[in-house]
Structure 1
Amino acid sequence: MSDTHAHSVAFVRTQDVPMAPPPSNAAGPAKWVKDNLFATPLNGLLTLVALYFIYAILSSALPWILGGIWNAPSLAACRDILDGASAACFAVLSERWNQLLFGFQYPDDQYWRPGLAFILLFIAAAPVLFFDLPRKLLAFTAIYPFVAYYLLWGGTIFVPILALVGVAGGFMVYQRLVAGSFAAGFFGGIAAAFVIWIIGGWLIPDDASANAMLPAVPSRYMGGFMLNMMLGVTCVSLSVPIGIALALGRQSSMPLIKWICVIFIEFIRGVPLITLLFVANVMLAYFFPPGSGVDLFLRVVIMITMFSAAYIAEVIRGGLAALPKGQYEAADSLGLDYPQAMRLIILPQALKISIPGIVNVAVGLFKDTTLVSVISMFDLVGMIRGPILASTEWNGVYWELFGFAALLFFIVCYGISQYSQWLERRLATDHR
């Protein structure tokens, strides 16, 4: 065979050609920028305008923040150190951090108590928020409210123990009666708990607080961001089950229960929260027995819980209305009674639909806890507007204090929002 014929035969490769990397504009950061920021001429123009505004804001804010003063006894000392330069006076945060977080009357040597209660909150909430965790952890979740109460308020340990016994007794009565009627079990459990509390209150000795392991701290001594957290966690935790009961009551076939729930929901939703807070401050004490001495914190918790429960009830009612009628018929075909159908079939689906609305109410409620400053409760905003800005050392510091408050609220609310989005993705079991 000649050399010319040999070279005319096509060469067949025995191995695959190595995969070439994709073009730089088809993958990686360049593709993301092209698809998300400069996909169209209009998007590109809006991106450039947004970048300009971001640059304008950061070019002014970053030097003010990075050049801030952290160590100074007063605003005048800050200005002397800055010597005419424009920068923040973060020294107010260094000097008054304890008042911003715990109020100005909570004992300094007892700060570990709310700090410990805050850490235990995450442990108690974990099995409720992340249901893949062992169910045995729910035992600590059940006793956490009573542990947190004793850590924050102190005094005699018989009070949280009595409250725990009353709740446990009421739950046992509820389990026995709910098989016959949900209403009988619900109201029977509440009545049993109150009976235990009343009898136990007579048995607690008057001098029990004298030998308490933790010194008692009155509610009026609590303030700062700790008060906002206490109100937010307590009211959200109570308003969700009450809202579920109101939503079910509004759809009840019994006219009396239905109209009681309708009137309650519509009345509460038609009244501003600040009005309810004034009622809690001035009028609600008249509805308790004379000499009972119900403190302001409990009255505010009652009013805020009623307010948020009415809104959550409407959110959950929307979730119930979104379910097809076939779900109710399926529960009937399985022979389930009303409590079993609601617990096993209807409510799990309705609550999944209602997650965005419930989270929206929870975030709004947490931010609305700052309204308690108008009734002389020194929460975070009340501390800033009251004792701190009224002092001669820090009169005139605004951006630093309110920026710190905004940062704390943003962290909490953003965390709640991110958890709700994770929960929606986790529960997205339907076919889309």
Structure 2
Amino acid sequence: MKPGHFTAAKRQKQPDIPGRQNRLLLWLKRNLCASPLQIALTIIALLLILYSIVPFIRWALIDAVWQGENRHACTTLLQGGLRADNWSGACWAFVRANFSQFIYGFYPVAERWRVIATFALALLTAVPLLTPAVPHKFINAGIALILVPLIGGVLLVGGVFGLPFVDTSLWGGLMVTLIIAYCSIILSLPLGIMLALGRRCKMAALRLFCVAFIELLRGIPLVALLFIASVLFPLFLPQGMNFDKFLRALIAVALFTSVYIAETIRGGLQAVPKSQYEAAASLGFTYPFAMAFILLPQAVRLVIPALVNVLIGMFKETSLVYIISMYDLLGIVRSASMQANWITPQTPATGLIFAGLVFWFFCFALSLYARFLENYSKRERAA
């Protein structure tokens, strides 16, 4: 047999795997069934998923109650309700009946258009700011980070331009969670960058102040900081002077987040090669211009995952304002589940799952955006 015939026969025996097999099946073979150990671990994982997921799906969807006006729709006959004695399922009727309260809290119904207008304005200005391809970022940033909070504050609080005054004690639900998160990001990002730069500053007094500020706040739990802002801070104010509790809580969350952002940015600045500093100096850039246009953008790009992790943690920790009697999404859900006309064994769990899904949605969206930024920056460097 000629060498060419042997080579041709060998090629015929090799299957064209990408062309003949399903890609999904190929992925399963490579990642889940590549060895006997992987096969065993895959089977164990599937059994655990089935053991936990199937009962949850049955409780949350199949046996759930979707319609009802009060607790009788979600209680058994022995409890004075309408369900079978052995019934156990989610009470989504409770979420449906209180949905508007979960979103707006106790904000007056006739004035809720102001909340919708504020969030619509924030969304319309945030989209061009967060889209890398859109130009004029400084103008977008000024509108989204300065103008929108001012207009939103006027709309939500009122008392001017013929708008009825709405006290912050009536605010609640997802509205409070998003306001605290949005404003905390606006305040904590620039403050964290300044603290990071101050900690690397050659001026001893400024560096020591930034180090002391970061280490002090980083060593205090957010719960304690909220208590200090809510209970202790008013004691140091002059007699007759009042400071809104909502604003105090917002500043406490922003300060707490800023110290973690500062350490994240400082890590990014240390990861920037020293040659970049030298190149900026050789081009005649002053320190502020070099930091603003060359070094800081590279540092932020390097720490996008860590920075998003800090912001996600801040978003979830906004639920701690419940301990100072501020009804954010989690607080309003827990409060509503104790209503006399909705007290059932299934109501608290159903409400908490609803709140968890809402938090997961926003955190997952933030993670997807961070992944988009990473991919975009890689494409920009490759180009």
Q: TM-score, normalised by structure 2?
A: 0.87
Aligned partners of 2:70 and 2:94 also within 8 Å: yes
Shift of 1:76: 2.8
How far is 1:27 from its partner? 4.4
Write the deviation string for residues 413-432 of structure 1: whole angstroms up to 9, x where unpaired: 0111111111111112557x
Cα distance, 1:151 vs structure 2: 2.2
User: Which residue of 2 is the match for residue 241 of structure 1?
Assistant: 190
Residue 68 in structure 1 maps to residue 69 in structure 2: no
Question: C-alpha separation between the residues in 1 aligned to 2:16 and 2:123?
Answer: 46
**Deviation larger for 133-142 or 52-61:** 133-142
For residues 306 and 263 of structure 1, what CA distance do their matches in structure 2 show? 13
Residues 127, 138 of structure 1: 8 Å contact kept: no
By how many angstroms is 1:374 displaced?
Answer: 0.6
Q: Which residue of 2 aligns with 1:46?
A: 41
How far apart are 1:237 and its partner, in Å?
1.6
Q: Output the amino acid matched with 2:90.
A: A
Contact preservation (8 Å) 1:363, 1:416: yes
In structure 2, do the counterparts of structure 1 residues 138 and 274 end up closer, same or farther at CA, with 3 Å as the change threshold?
Answer: closer
State the SS of the aligned residue for 2:241.
coil
Secondary structure (helix, strand or coil) at the match of 1:393 reads helix
Q: Is the 8 A contact 1:223 1:380 kept in 2?
A: yes
CA offsets per residue over residues 6-36 of structure 1, 9 Å max, x none?
A: xxxxxxxxxxxxxx97567644222122122
Report 1:32-431 matches (<5 A): 32-64=27-59, 65-79=61-75, 80-84=81-85, 85-103=87-105, 105-135=106-136, 137=140, 140-141=143-144, 142-156=146-160, 212-386=161-335, 388-396=336-344, 397-428=347-378, 429-430=380-381
Give the 3 Å change call, closer, same or farther, for CA 288–111 of structure 1 in structure 2.
same
Give, in whole Å, the separation in 1 of the partners of 2:47 and 2:216.
48
Cα RMSD for the two superposed structures: 2.0
Partners of 1:320 and 1:403 in 2: CA distance? 40
Cα distance 1:426–1:263, how it changes in 2: closer, same or farther (>3 A)? same
- Structure 2 distance, partners of 1:320, 1:41, is 45
Q: Deviations over 1:65-84 (max 9, x none)?
A: 23321222222332233223
Identity, in percent, stands at 38
1:24/1:31 contact within 8 Å kept? no
**Cα distance in 2 between the residues matched to 1:287 and 1:340:** 40
Contact 2:172 2:329 (C-alpha < 8 Å) held by counterparts: yes
Closer/same/farther in 2, CA of residues 91 and 349 from structure 1, 3 Å limit: same
Q: CA deviation at 1:286?
A: 3.8
Aligned residue in 1 for 2:4: none
Corresponding position of 2:7: none
* Number of matched pairs: 355
Distance in 1 between residues matched to 2:142 and 2:189, nearest whole Å? 20
Letter in 2 for 1:53: L
Map of 1:16 onto structure 2: none
User: Given the superposition, is the C-alpha separation of residues 256 and 238 from structure 1 closer, same or farther in structure 2, using an over 3 Å criterion?
Assistant: same
Do the aligned partners of residues 400 and 297 (structure 1) sit closer, same or farther apart at CA in structure 2, a change above 3 Å counting?
Answer: same
- Measure how far apart 1:59 and its partner are: 2.2
> What displacement does 1:152 show?
1.5
CA distance in 2, matches of 1:77, 1:307: 44
Residue deviations 1:155-202, cap 9 Å, x none? 21xxxxxxxxxxxxxxxxxxxxxxxxxxxxxxxxxxxxxxxxxxxxxx
Give 2:157's aligned amino acid: W
TM-score by structure 1 length? Answer: 0.78
Does the aligned pair in 1 maintain the 2:67–2:73 contact within 8 Å? no
